[in-house]
Chain A
Amino acid sequence: MVSHERWPAVTRTDAFKEKVSKAKILAVGAGGIGCELLKTLVLSGFQHIAVVDMDTIETSNLNRQFLFRREHVGQSKAVVAAEAVKRLRPDAQITAHQANIKEDRFGIDFFDGFDLVLNGLDNLDARRHVNRMCHAARVPLVESGTSGYTGQVSVHGQLSRAETPSTSQPAIEAECFECQPKAAPKTYPVCTIRNTPDKPIHCVVWAKEMLFQRLFGRQEGVSDLDSHQAAEPPSEADKEALALQKDDASAFLMVPGESIEGYSRRIFDRLYCSDIKRLLSVQDLWKARTKPKPLDLAELVPINAPSAGPSHVNGHANGHPNGTSEAAVASASAALGLTDDHAMWSTADNAKVFLKAIELYRTVRAQDLGAAVFDKEDLLACEFVTAAANLRSIVFGIPTQSLFDTKGMAGNIIHAIATTNAIVSGLIVGEAMKLVANMPHKCRVSWLNERPNPKTVINPVELSTRAPDCAVCGPALLTLHTNTHTATLGDLVSQVLKGSMGLSQPWSITCSDFMYEEDEDLEEDEADTYAALSPRPLKDLPGGGLGNGAVVSIADQPLLEDGSPARKRSMQLIIRHQADWDGQRDPSQQFRLIGSVPAPVPPAGAAEGQKAGADDDEDDVPLLMENGAGEDEDEIVILPAAEKRPADAQLKRKAEVAEADAAENPSPKRRRAE
């Protein structure tokens, strides 16, 4: 029997099969990877699976998300996928949640209920969230992503759950998903976008993020670009140009009594003629640049030309508003006979599509006005952005693009095929099995390459250990049991924070919007505000309260033995509500703290010599891909920063891409389904 305790021999034992059938799995995402993963999981004997996905099924999913059929378009991915795999294994228990994994109900307790979390996600934000929840709940995480022919599977977190603290085997901890920095999304300086575009992408960003939003979207969303503080001051010329464009949101509204045609033509003239003339008046901008050339709409599309045609407002009632229904899809280019997605539209074509798209939004899509969100699956939105971006490109002497290419850029479409997802999900299940078998030392990070590298297409590598300075898994993790209805903030501070944890000033605790700190240098009114919170029960504190499952971040700066300040220290404290504890009766028994506070460490600099050696391997570690089977990742973030060069050095064709830390500069746009 001893030989069966080895991998992979162990997979044939009844004990292993039993473990697999009992393991509780959380699958996050039911898209390209998710469909394959769910299928492979149930066919490998897993029987308890919860699946969370907030998306609905799109036509463009059908080339790989094989659990879905044409008739499912528009329905919940999680629900349809769960039903499909249940048919494969009627004895499996599959729970579907059509929801965003970031919702409150999927708190630590929810994650804690699983033995394994398997990610098939399409965006970095959700990946980070799941990583943090897994870390807090001490659940191992298998992360994955694909893009075209390439993909990767990695294993993170505490890999062996210390269910029996008596075992001498130490818990194996791999690096968390955020131990290694992730590539930040591309950003573009706002001045380039607004005043001096010189690449097609600049015009696409302008059309999608600024114009589309302004004309059809939520008005409050528009101001994002204007109100941000620039990281570097714009040049004088840029400032002048920006000032010219300020405060004119009302100009994009339809005037009472205005016809749709009159309106759309007025918007056109404003964007491609009068705004451009105003920009031209800022002469400093054009000293070293090619001047933009305003467009004359009357010349391109004479008034009364039949191009815009009459609209048929009827016939939409049976259609899905964002183009998922096969019938009744509003399309400006179809109305104009532009049937080739890959063709380049002429200037006049672009102008006609622009006018027609506004008309269609004002008629058949009127219910979306004021709330439209750009969606790459929405044909009309893509057409509008293509035409609007192309017209701007023409004005600035930039090459134009086809509908197909613009859609790819505006939607940040990640290539996706069934085969890569199948390989990756097979690998995920392999890692899941090793974890279920409690053989974490067998786990590997696997890289799937487009070509053999050097001789194999799949390259497994050993797991990395935690990065000591990781902001997520680096801090010590402690758990605090208490009755959050009766224990007060004052009790927490005196008995736990300053008591058993022995924090030294200055220290602070934060939990979402709530913050409390102690520091000699606090202003009087700040200290008063904090003092007023002191008698409140934990669950009634601002920002949602410190209830069950809340994760409190703690930071302080202790002193070393010699009295000098140590390195700043951070910890995470998970609150566990104990409803049956009555702190009133025995105040000394209100709290039970599990975990230990890390010892003070000398400040950085003392350990530098060591660190240099430790970094040696990092060049060989490829960056984790951030894309899952879906494609909403890498939203274009407009960084409201001034261009970095003086104006006379800007005449160039090079992309000016500012790298921003995604964590510090979250996208101003929210994802569509949130």
Chain B
Amino acid sequence: MRRRSEPREDLPHVTSRRWIALLDKRTLSIPHVPLRDRKYDRQLRIWGAHGQQLLESSRVCLLHCGPTGSETLKNLVLGGIAAFTVVDDAKVQPHDLGNNFLLDSSSLGKSKAQHVTTLLEELNESVAGSFVEESPSTLLETNPDFFLSFTLVIATQMIEPDVIKLEDLCHSLEIKLLVVRSYGLVGSLRASLQEQTVIESKPDNHVENLRFHKPWRELEDFAMSIDLATADDILHKHTPYAILLIQATKQWHATHGPELPQNAREKQAYRDILQSWQRRIDDVPIEEENFTEAIENSRKVFAPPGIGREVQMVLYDPKAMELDPRSSDFWVLAAALRDFVEGEGEGCLPIEGSIPDMWATTELFLALQRVYRDKAERDTAAVRGHLARRLASIGRDAAAIDAKTLRNFVKHAHCLRVVRWRRLAQEVAPGTCDAAALRQALGDEDTAANACLYLLLRAVDRFHTLHARFPGCYDGEFEDDVPLLKSVAVGMLAEVGLASGALVDDLVHEVVRCGTLVYNAMASTTSVFQF
């Protein structure tokens, strides 16, 4: 909780008058909020300083800078990545004008990559841009080391065989890969990473770990220090519901044994304890807001949040179980956290330190908050101890992971996540493709159209491999291309043992008709589903 606290006497004003004069000059010459913060203010309020820092350390490689690639990179440059490199061997053609906002007639005949880079650099002076005038597929063959310096590769408008090769390379170099495609009024986006570990996953509904069911000693002492029976009316109706629930739970255990209320009858009996404590007039309970809150929140006792399945998966992931000197900080921290849960935590995650708003006097609320905050401090210190041991065990310095990182990790222990992606290569190969999932998606009314388009976009690439052109790219061959594309798609379905009935003729027509046309509105929309 942020509360006015220790007075800060370490400020320059107490040192000397010369300081002041200096500062005053600064008042009038340099804005004290760094420009960076002002420029990024609206997004800092979404992903915080930590998120911004991650963004600002990203080096992005864009393959092909058509409308889709240009729009994508624009959004990242505005957000403030560290650097980007554009790879494209094309010269600007007349048809490029008018659907790519970074090109105009003055760029005709010049290198597309160069022109796009220059204009993107203008969007944000803190981002460094560069370009390579070469075809992405050639670069992939001739100079794979080129990709080493990037944290993210964005492949746009590339066909499947090239994408599979690129994925191979990115995986071996541990580079994140995003595959973006716009095709007529259809778009697709696919991430391919080995794993992504997330500390701040920002879940929609988070139930605080308040430990009403299992208070630690200080919390229980604090809760029991209030004697409801003798409290005056004001204290009685301003005793925070946390205290009411802890007292009720204690009484429950005294009368019903160690098990928490399980069924509806027991839960009602538990709530009856709370109700029996309410003040009455003529035996009718008077309305007390804190008791209402306690009854509403009693489910936090019956169903304590515990450790979610996804967090369990992190704690007991093989990578957290078996550390080695190459383990990332996340996995070392996860191991230390598991040590805590299995040790001092007695099966619980560390206390987060914040408490929800509750009906209370300011004094009681702050005192209660202090109890939680102190416990959070102690828990963090315990995890720090485990962390030092874990680091030592893999030959790293005990201070290799700083206190701020640790604190952030512990604070978000309840929302840790690990996400792993299936390789694209596995997804498309007949032997490893998940035919059952495809069948289900094609059969389900809600997903049929999308599944069909997914298949057709892949069929288009296979068409390209077979015929060295995209279907429908020449006006005259439109009528011929519809059955050709359809037969390719049917063949792909057959390879994985699926019938062709799921193919929607209208969509086949549409995909052939729209050819390789890229709509800017579509490019603009597709380009952004990545962060």
Contacts and interface: CB of A to CB of B under 8 A. Distances in A.
Interface of A: 3, 8-9, 11-12, 36, 39-40, 43-45, 59-60, 62-64, 66, 69-70, 87-90, 148-149, 198, 288, 290, 305-307, 309-312, 315-316, 323, 326-339, 341-342, 344-349, 352, 360, 364, 379, 390, 393-394, 397-402, 408, 413-420, 422-423, 425-427, 429-430, 433, 451, 455, 457, 631, 651-655
B365 interface: yes
A398 B357 CA distance: 13
A479 B404 CA distance: 68
A337 B16 CA distance: 13
Contact of A422 (B32, B125, B525): B525
A-B pairs with lowest CB-CB distance, top 8: A334-B32, A426-B525, A419-B528, A43-B520, A329-B31, A335-B27, A426-B524, A429-B521
Contacts, number: 236
B80 interface: yes
A337 B45 contact: no
A422 B524 CA distance: 6
Contact of B28 (A44, A90, A315, A425): A315
A349 B75 contact: no
Contact of B32 (A3, A288, A333, A400): A333
18 contacts: A8-B510, A39-B524, A40-B521, A43-B101, A59-B35, A60-B39, A63-B79, A148-B46, A306-B17, A307-B13, A309-B23, A329-B31, A341-B33, A414-B42, A418-B75, A425-B524, A653-B358, A654-B289
A287 to B, nearest CB: 9
Interface stretch (B58-66, B431-439, B511-519): B511-519
Contacts of A653: 357-360, 362, 365
A335 B39 contact: no
Interface of B: 1-8, 11-13, 17, 20-21, 23-33, 35, 37-43, 45-46, 49, 67, 71, 74-75, 78-80, 98-101, 104-105, 122-125, 184-185, 204, 234, 238, 289, 357-363, 365, 446-447, 509-510, 513-514, 517, 519-522, 524-525, 527-531
A231 B37 CA distance: 42
A55 B369 CA distance: 44
A60 B41 contact: yes
Contacts of B105: 90
A235 to B, nearest CB: 17
Contacts of A397: 362-363
A9 B42 contact: no
A290 B362 contact: yes
A412 to B, nearest CB: 12
Given A43-B100, A64-B42, A334-B27, 19 more contacts: A36-B524, A40-B524, A43-B99, A43-B101, A64-B43, A64-B78, A309-B20, A316-B28, A326-B31, A334-B31, A335-B24, A338-B11, A347-B4, A394-B4, A401-B2, A402-B2, A418-B78, A423-B525, A652-B238
B74 A418 contact: yes
Residue of B101, B122, B184 with most partner-chain A CB within 10 A:
B101
Nearest to A323: B31
Contacts of A331: 27, 31-33
A344 B1 CA distance: 11
Contacts of B123: 66, 69
A348 B524 contact: no
B32 A339 contact: yes
B528 A416 contact: no
B3 A315 contact: no
Contacts of A290: 361-363
A364 B28 CA distance: 9
Nearest to A376: B41
Contact of B527 (A346, A352, A360, A422): A422
A46 B238 CA distance: 63
Nearest to B359: A652
Nearest to B290: A652
B289 A652 contact: yes
A397 B124 CA distance: 44
Nearest to A411: B41
Contacts of A332: 27
Contacts of A39: 101, 520, 524
Contacts of B513: 9, 12
Nearest to A424: B525
Contacts of B101: 39, 43, 88
Contact of A59 (B38, B358, B527, B529): B38
Residue of A8, A393, A394 with most partner-chain B CB within 10 A:
A8
Contact of B531 (A148, A379, A419): A419
A9 B510 contact: yes
A344 B4 contact: yes
